[in-house]
Structure 1
Amino acid sequence: MSEVTAGVMVLDCAEPEKLAVFYKELMGAEETDATANRVEIRSPDGTRLAFRRDVNATPPSWPRPENSLQVHLEFVVTDMDAAERRIVSLGGRPVDTKDSAGPFEERGYADPAGHSFTLRRALPTAPKQG
């Protein structure tokens, strides 16, 4: 048995309380732990995210080439347009990524603190024919 288990994805930001609200609303999550400098949430499917205070946090510049992507979250959705409306209503913004590569329809966004994330359309699960 491994001594290391999966933990939690932590995003640094200036205002963890505000960023936690964005992701709680987006994912239908609940707050599981909060201190003065860190807030953790868990979605109904068990995904855990935490937001850690860093007063000097600066968002990555992705997709501009002068800074790397660093890390991003990916969410699978069934209705891309409805998800985008929800993101914008919560304070997120679309990020112009031009054409997405690969077999999936994807759209890039930034949360209110500037962290990038992607929506990917869920593939239909039709039974195999033949």
Structure 2
Amino acid sequence: MAEDRAEGRALVKAGVVVLDCAEPELLAEFYKGFLDAELTDASANRVEIRSADGTRLAFRRDANATPPSWPRPENSLQVHLDFLVDDLDAAERRIVGLGGRPLDTKGAAGPHEERGYADPAGHSFTLRNTLSTAPKQG
């Protein structure tokens, strides 16, 4: 595949994750606030943001968008995002303050604590704690 690369550059680069929704402006505002992101592009039917770490998300208008219904089987998990955070409680307060809602906030067993949420349009996502799991001293 070396012939597919020009001067050490990959032929394909990851682009942007696009979420369909009825109101892209409102959903972009939720993720801008959650990710401390900036607006990078907007048109009548699509809004794109980029976070400080370079994560790119776009929101495309679909007047017939059906919100995901996870954990129910109908319309389940049309897309799922995972976000890494250092402070689950602080991130949860931000999510709820921006209009998101908890789906499953019981701590998962195992090396990584995680919690499930839905954005205002119903897309589910998970927060995973990135802190060390070493036992607390004292």
Regarding TM over 0.5, the answer is yes
Aligned-residue offset at 1:123: 3.0
Where in structure 2 are the equivalents of 1:9-24 lying within 5 Å?
Answer: 9-24=17-32
SS of equivalent to 2:96:
helix
SS of equivalent to 1:49:
strand
2:73 aligns to what?
65
Q: Deviations over 1:3-53 (max 9, x none)?
A: 321110000000000000000000000000000000000000000000000
1:11–1:101 CA distance, 2 compared to 1 (3 A): farther
Structure 1 outlier segments of 4+, above 4 Å = none
Aligned-residue offset at 1:64: 1.7
User: How many residue pairs were aligned?
Assistant: 126
Aligned-residue offset at 1:60: 1.3
Aligned equivalents of 1:4 and 1:113: distance in 2? Answer: 30
Structural RMSD (CA): 1.9
Aligned equivalents of 2:84 and 2:107: distance in 1? Answer: 18
Aligned equivalents of 1:83 and 1:113: distance in 2? Answer: 18
Structure 2 unaligned regions, length at least 5: none
1:117 aligns to what?
125
1:7 aligns to what?
15
Which of 16, 29, 35 is matched with 1:27 structurally? 35
Aligned equivalents of 1:125 and 1:104: distance in 2? Answer: 7
Percent identical pairs in the alignment equals: 79
SS of equivalent to 1:114:
coil
CA contact (8 A) 2:70 2:124 kept: yes
2:49 aligns to what?
41
TM-score, normalised to structure 2, is 0.83
1:80–1:70 CA distance, 2 compared to 1 (3 A): same
SS of equivalent to 1:60:
coil
Structure 1 unaligned regions, length at least 5: none
Aligned equivalents of 1:125 and 1:30: distance in 2? Answer: 32
Aligned-residue offset at 1:63: 1.3
Aligned equivalents of 2:80 and 2:55: distance in 1? Answer: 14
1:78 maps to 2:81: no
